[in-house]
Structure 1
Amino acid sequence: TNKIHRSGNTYIFNGDITESYGIIVEKSNIVIDGKGHTLKSTPRLLPIGSWDFGIELSNVTDGNAVIKNLKIVDFNIGVYIWTTNNTVTGNTITGGNVGIFLAESPNTVVGNYIEDNTEGVFLGPLPDTHKTVYNILYHNSFVNNTLQAYDCECTDPHTIQHQNIWDNGTSGNYWSDYSGIDVDGDGIGDTPYSVSSDDADTCPLMAPIAFPITRNNGFLGTNIPFELGLALTVAGIVSVSAAVYVVLKRKKAS
Structure 2
Amino acid sequence: MNRKIVSTISVSAILFMTMLSFNVLLVQAGYTIYILPDGTINPPAAPIERVGDIYTFTGNISNPIVVERDNIVIDGAGYTVQGAGTGTGITLSSGNNVTMKNAKVIGFNYGIHLNYTWSSTVSDCTFMSDMYSSPPKIMYHGIWLLHSSNNTISGNTMMYTTQRGILLVSSHNNTLSNNTQMNSEHGIYLTGSKDNTISDNIVEHNNRYGILLDGFSSKNTLSGNTATFNQYDGIKLYYSSNNTVFENTAIINRYGINLDHSSDNTVYHNNFITNGLGQANSTDSTNTWDNGSSGNFWSDYNGTDLNGDGIGDTPYMIDANNEDRYPLIVPAVWNYSNPVPIVWEATTYSVVLSSNSTISMFKFNQQQKQISFKVNGESGTVGYCNVTIPQTLLNITQTGWIILINDTPPVTGPIITSNGTHTFIYLTYTFASTNDIVIQGASVIPEFPSAILLPLFMIMSMLAVAFRKKRFQRKLD
TM-score (norm 2): 0.33
**Unpaired segments ≥5 residues, structure 2:** 1-32, 34-46, 49-54, 57-71, 75-96, 257-268, 298-330, 338-477
- Separation in structure 1 between the aligned mates of residue 118 and residue 336 of structure 2, nearest angstrom: 27
The answer to whether structure 1 residue 72 and structure 2 residue 143 are counterparts is no
Partner of 2:29: none
1:163-202 maps to which residues of 2 (within 5 A)?
Answer: 163-167=242-246, 172-177=247-252, 193-194=279-280, 196-197=282-283, 198=285, 202=295
| Amino acid in the other structure paired with 1:24 | H
Instruction: Please list the CA deviations of residues 89-131 of structure 1 after superposition, one character each: whole Å capped at 9, or x if unmatched.
Output: 00001110000111111111000011101210111121xxx8x
The answer to whether structure 1 residue 112 and structure 2 residue 201 are counterparts is yes
Q: Which of 139, 144, 166 is equivalent to 1:56?
A: 144
**Richer in strand (by share):** 2
The answer to whether structure 1 residue 32 and structure 2 residue 122 are counterparts is yes
Aligned length: 181
How has the CA–CA distance of structure 1 residues 96 and 29 changed in structure 2, closer, same or farther, with 3 Å as cutoff?
same
Instruction: Please list the CA deviations of residues 190-226 of structure 1 after superposition, one character each: whole Å capped at 9, or x if unmatched.
Output: 9995264435684355776499xxxxxxxxxxxxxxx
Give 3-state SS (helix, strand or coil) of 1:106's partner.
Answer: coil
Tell me how far 1:15 sits from its aligned partner. 3.5
| Amino acid in the other structure paired with 2:195 | P
The answer as to whether partners of 1:38 and 1:70 remain within 8 angstroms in 2 is: yes
TM-score (norm 1): 0.59
How has the CA–CA distance of structure 1 residues 20 and 109 changed in structure 2, closer, same or farther, with 3 Å as cutoff?
same
- Separation in structure 2 between the aligned mates of residue 210 and residue 109 of structure 1, nearest angstrom: 22
Q: Which of 97, 117, 123 is equivalent to 2:185?
A: 97
The answer as to whether partners of 1:120 and 1:149 remain within 8 angstroms in 2 is: yes
| Amino acid in the other structure paired with 2:73 | S
| Amino acid in the other structure paired with 2:211 | V
Partner of 1:139: 224
- Separation in structure 1 between the aligned mates of residue 103 and residue 336 of structure 2, nearest angstrom: 23
- Separation in structure 2 between the aligned mates of residue 195 and residue 84 of structure 1, nearest angstrom: 27
| Amino acid in the other structure paired with 1:78 | G
Partner of 2:73: 7
**Unpaired segments ≥5 residues, structure 1:** 154-160, 181-186, 212-254
Tell me how far 1:151 sits from its aligned partner. 1.7
How has the CA–CA distance of structure 1 residues 45 and 91 changed in structure 2, closer, same or farther, with 3 Å as cutoff?
closer
State the structure with more CA Rg. 2
- Separation in structure 1 between the aligned mates of residue 187 and residue 336 of structure 2, nearest angstrom: 15
Give 3-state SS (helix, strand or coil) of 1:114's partner.
Answer: strand
The answer as to whether partners of 2:249 and 2:271 remain within 8 angstroms in 1 is: no
Instruction: Please list the CA deviations of residues 32-70 of structure 1 after superposition, one character each: whole Å capped at 9, or x if unmatched.
Output: 111xx4211235588xxxx8211110144xx11110000
- Separation in structure 2 between the aligned mates of residue 193 and residue 122 of structure 1, nearest angstrom: 16
The answer as to whether partners of 1:141 and 1:210 remain within 8 angstroms in 2 is: no
Root-mean-square deviation over aligned CA pairs = 3.6
The answer as to whether partners of 1:57 and 1:81 remain within 8 angstroms in 2 is: yes
The answer to whether structure 1 residue 162 and structure 2 residue 250 are counterparts is no
Percent identity over the alignment? Answer: 20
| Amino acid in the other structure paired with 1:115 | E
- Separation in structure 1 between the aligned mates of residue 186 and residue 101 of structure 2, nearest angstrom: 23
How has the CA–CA distance of structure 1 residues 189 and 140 changed in structure 2, closer, same or farther, with 3 Å as cutoff?
closer
